[in-house]
Structure formats: structure tokens, C-alpha cells
A and B are shown apart, each in its own frame.
Chain A
Amino acid sequence: MTVKPELMKRMVKGPDGLEFEVDPLRDYYCEAPPTVMPGAYIQIVEDFFNWARSQSLWILGFGTGCGAIEMRPLMTPRFDAYRFGVAWRPTPRQANLFIISGYLSTKTLKRAIRAYEQMQNPKYVIGLGSCTINGGMYWDSYNTIKKLDEYLPVDLYIAGCMPRPEALLAGFEEMKKIIRAGKAEGANQYAENFAWYKANQKRVIHDWDMPDYNW
């Protein structure tokens, strides 16, 4: 594992002339691993929250591949996904639905993992396009991942190359059913099988220069 120079432990001189030690990975990140977070204790409350979650899907506006071009028409008058309670948020902290739109190169996978880990529990992942299922037309590429499910817990796949915006809308409706049924527990699944996911991620990402879990 190679660590970038700016992430290595070093001595820094402050503006007041005082020297102190900085360990970026330790000081700037919280390395506590994710924990399984149970839902509300009373089932009917959890069902109520699930219903509200399904009516308010906030997508992280992060296009990872060519499929991102199919998400843009959803904001326009022709498809207008807002009427289904779907909105785009520019920051992972506020988003709770991550759409991996098309192929993921290993370089982008690193960013996708960081973005996913910064989202708040419960969070959902939709794999868009054939590339996220089995590599699609990049099945023999050396720098894209083939099965998204090995790196992030996927709740739903939308097949096609590329799926049309209508397919995405149908996918959102399907996603809502999964959430309402209480089956969209990807975040907890990620926490339970954390070691397995990390091992898979580190197998393809060779320049791992971040903590194991970044909140």
C-alpha cells in the first residue's frame, strides 16, 4: 500500500512558530468502522418512516459513467421526476440514493466508495446499465469493475445499454416498493459484511490512500 506524501505523518510549523505533529489519516478522518443501525423499535413507526423515505428519494448528483446522461432529462419538463418525490442533492451528506450510472473505472470506484460512505443510514444504491451487472461492453477491460455488487451493496439494477429515462422512472417506482417493504437495508448489509467489501475494494484499488472508512 502506497501512501501519498501529503497523507504521511509529519511535523508542521504553525503560524505562531510552534511545531506539532500531524497524522492526516488519524487527525482528519474518523476511522470508526460502520455499525449496524436497527430501525425504530416499534414496527409501525419504522413502517411510517419507510413510507416517508420512499416518497422522498434524494439522489446524489454524481455521474460515474455515460449513464449520467440519462439522468439529466429526468429534471426537464419532458420527464420531470420531481413529481414522484425524486430530487437531486449536490452533497452526499444529504443524499440517500446513489445511482451508479454506467461503468465504474477503478479510479472512479474510489470516489464512489468515499461518497457512499459519507451518506447517512439508510442509504440505497441503484446500478444503472449493463456495465454494473456484468461489465457490459467493458467485460474484458482492465480498469473497470465488472460486478458492482462485490464493492457496494446494490438494492436494484436497471438493465440496458443505456436504459432510457422511462426505465429509470420505472426503476424509481420499483425502488419505492422495496423501501416500503423494509427490504432496502443496504447500509446495514455493508456494515455487517464490512471486511468482505473492504477486501474486494482493496483488491482492485491499488493506490489505497484513504482510511478504511470515511464518515
Chain B
Amino acid sequence: MDFDWMKIPYAFLTVFIVVNYGFLMGALIQKIGARAGRRYGIPIWQYYMDVIKNYGLRSSITHGVMFYLGPVFRLSGGVGLLLFMPVIYGSYMFSNFSFAGDLILALYFVFFGTLGMALGAGESGHPHAAIGVTRGLQQVSMAELPFAMAVFSVALQYQTLSMTDIVAAQQGGVMNWTLFTNPIAVAAAMLAFLGSMMRPPFDVFIAPQEIPIGPPTEYHSSYLALMQTNRAIFPVAKIVIYMNLFFGGAASWPELFVKVFFLYLFSAFVGVCFPRFRVEQSIRFFLVWAVPLGILSIMVV
């Protein structure tokens, strides 16, 4: 098998761009949320400060091996997701390690970080962490169901499991996007999207006002900094999947930045408008509204 070694530095470049973009966009969305509450909001560089500070803390304690591995799994979930899909369509530099069946791998990687977090949070031994991660897993599993159905629907529609082919099929005008060719699948997926973005109304498991911040209760210093880095990468990586599957992909970085920003803004917009769901309410919401849409989208295709 011939492997192109030049892809490795290019992949690092992708991760570097996405980390910086993730930090800045996260802060910007935070600011927009603050403006909705009539506050000025955090400085745009705040996330850099937080991460540098957390890496710079002198002491850190451990609760065991899985406690170490939790954030590592989480980060590898985000980075892995990013590296195994075509970030920029038609670009050799930023196609990364995408291959014919990458859609299945992406579905797996979306869930991978959460599972790693469950193991790490469990080992920390804090009851808040255990309860938080249980709630989180319940909700993410439920949100994953309509998303998986929407993905199957799209895979059936285009008769392929390769993300590059799916993006290729959507080229040539806005009307070719899955958003317009298969709107039911997109509707189901966007409801699932809300559920997995860790923003209100679906953020009861990490909300500071509920059980104090849930799974990361015991995480601090570099562990927390790793998880913060992942918080910059993972949403962008996940939105890139959505963008590739439903919104025509992106042929250049500026196009990607704009599309990802607006998709993220969608979840932030819903977040500032609606109050928080309890876990059983959110599960019921997904069962009643999102899952039937997902089934319908598969049947229609």
C-alpha cells in the first residue's frame, strides 16, 4: 500500500487551523449569548487564556489510570473525527485520511469521546461525575438515534458510504444540497444536532446550576486543559460532518468558516431562546419529534 507521508504535516495543519478557529468561534458565540442577556461578554481571546493557565498550573492529582485516559480519549475522539474526513472538498492538502467508508468511522468517533469521558469520570469517584455522565450518555445516545437514521437515509439516497462522494453529489448549486433534496433527513439530523452540542436546552448534564458541572467535576489543570482543547475541536469537527452531509461541504476555508459559524449559531440561537430540559424530557422530545422524522426520511428514500 502506498502511503503519502506528506499527508501527515497537512493533517497537523488542519488540526492547528481548527483549534484556533474553534477557540475564537467559541468565544464569539459566547459573546453573542452574553449580548442576548444584555451583557458585554468575555474577551474574544479568553479561551486561550484559560487553556494556557490550566496547562500552567503547577500541581495536579490523579485518581487512577482511567482518570488520565478520560481526557485523552476525549481529545482523540475530536482529533480522530477531524482527521478521517475530507475537511475541504476537492483539496488534496485538507482531504486528510478520508477513505471509502469514512462515514461509518465518523459515526463511531462522535460517540467515542463520550465513552472515554464516562470511564474517566467514573474513576474520579465523585458522585456528581457519575450522575452527570449517566445523564449525558442517556441523552447523547437518544440524540444519536435520529442522527444515525438521517445518515442512513443520506447513504441510501446517494448509494455510498464515502463522505467525499456525498459532497461531490451535492455540488453545482444550492438546490443540490441534501437540505433541499432530502429535507426530512436534515430536519431529523438538526434536532439531533441540538442534542449533542452541549448547549441549552440539552445541557442539563454539564450545567453548573444543576449537579455542579457533572462529568468534569474532578478534572483540573492539564486534564481540564485537554478537555478544553477538545471543546474547541470537537464541535467544529462535528459541524463539518453535518456540513459535508447536508449543506454541500466547503470548497475553501472561508466557506467552511462561514458555514460552521452559522450552524453553530443555530444551536446557540435555540439555546438562548429555550429553557433547559430535564433528561427524561429531552429523551421524550427526541422520541416524539426526532426519531419519527428519521424513520420517515428512510422510508421516503
Chain A bound to chain B: yes
A residues near B (Cβ < 8 Å) are 30, 37-40, 48-49, 52-53, 55-56, 58, 61, 76-77, 80, 82-83, 85, 87-91, 93-94, 96, 120-122, 187, 215
Interface contact A91-B217, CB-CB below 8 Å: yes
Interface residues of B (CB under 8 A from A): 34, 37-43, 46, 49-50, 52-53, 56-61, 208, 212-213, 216-221, 224
A94 close to B37 (CB less than 8 A): no
**B52 to A49, Cβ gap below 8 A?**
yes
With A90-B208, A120-B220 as contacts: A77 and B43 at CB distance below 8 Å:
no
- For residue A90, which residues in chain B have a CB less than 8 angstroms away from its CB? 208, 212-213
Contact B220 A93 (CB under 8 A): yes
- Residue pair B49, A93 in contact (C-beta under 8 Å): no
**Residue on B with the closest CB to A61?**
B208
A57 to chain B, nearest CB (A): 9
B38 near A77 with CB under 8 A, answer: yes
- Complexed CA–CA distance, A87 and B217 (Å): 16
**Could you count the A-B residue pairs with CB atoms below 8 Å apart for me: how many are there?**
84
Q: Is the CB of B217 within 8 A of A93?
A: yes
The listed residue with most A CB atoms (<10 A of its CB), out of B56, B61, B217, is B56
Least distance between A61 CB and chain B CB atoms (Å): 8
Main secondary structure, interface of A, reads: loop
Q: Are B53 and A49 touching (Cβ within 8 A)?
A: yes
A36 CA / B121 CA spacing, docked (Å): 29
Top 3 A-B residue pairs of the complex, sorted by shortest distance between their CB atoms: A90-B212, A49-B56, A52-B52
With contact pairs A37-B58, A120-B221 given, residues A80 and B213 touching in the complex (Cβ less than 8 Å): no
B contact residues around A83 at 8 Å (CB)? 39-43
**Chain A: minimal CB distance from B118 (Å):** 18
Cβ distance A215 to chain B, nearest Cβ, rounded Å: 5
Set of chain A residues within 8 Å of B60, measured between Cβ atoms: 120
Nearest-Cβ distance from residue A211 to partner chain B, whole angstroms: 14
Contacts A85-B43, A122-B57 given; indicate if A52 touches B49 (C-beta within 8 A).
yes
Across the two chains, which residue of chain B brings its CB closest to A83? B40
Select which of A39, A40, A77, A93 is within 8 A of B39 by beta carbon: A77
Q: Which residue of A lies closest to B210 (CB)?
A: A90
- A121 near B59: Cβ-Cβ < 8 Å: yes
Question: In the bound complex, what is the Cα–Cα distance between A121 and B54 (angstroms)?
Answer: 11
CA distance A40 to B56 in the complex (A): 9
Contact present for A96 and B38 (CB under 8 Å):
no
8 other A-B residue contacts (CB within 8 Å) besides A82-B40, A89-B208, A93-B217: A30-B61, A56-B46, A61-B208, A83-B39, A91-B217, A120-B60, A120-B220, A121-B57
- Which of A39, A85, A91 interacts with B49 by CB under 8 Å? A85
* Alpha-carbon distance between A215 and B221 when the two chains are bound, in angstroms: 14
A92 smallest CB distance to B (angstroms): 9
Residue among B37, B58, B212, B213 with max Cβ neighbours from chain A (10 Å): B58
Q: Are A39 and B53 in contact (CB under 8 A)?
A: no
B39 touches A37 (CB 8 A): no
Q: Indicate whether A215 sits within 8 Å of B61 (C-beta atoms), given known contacts A82-B42, A83-B40.
A: yes
A55 touches B39 (CB 8 A): no
Query: Given A90-B208, A93-B220, A120–B41 Cβ distance below 8 Å?
Result: no
Residues of chain B lying within 8 A (CB to CB) of residue A53:
53, 56
Report if A94-B224 is in contact (Cβ < 8 Å); known contacts: A52-B49, A52-B52, A56-B53.
yes
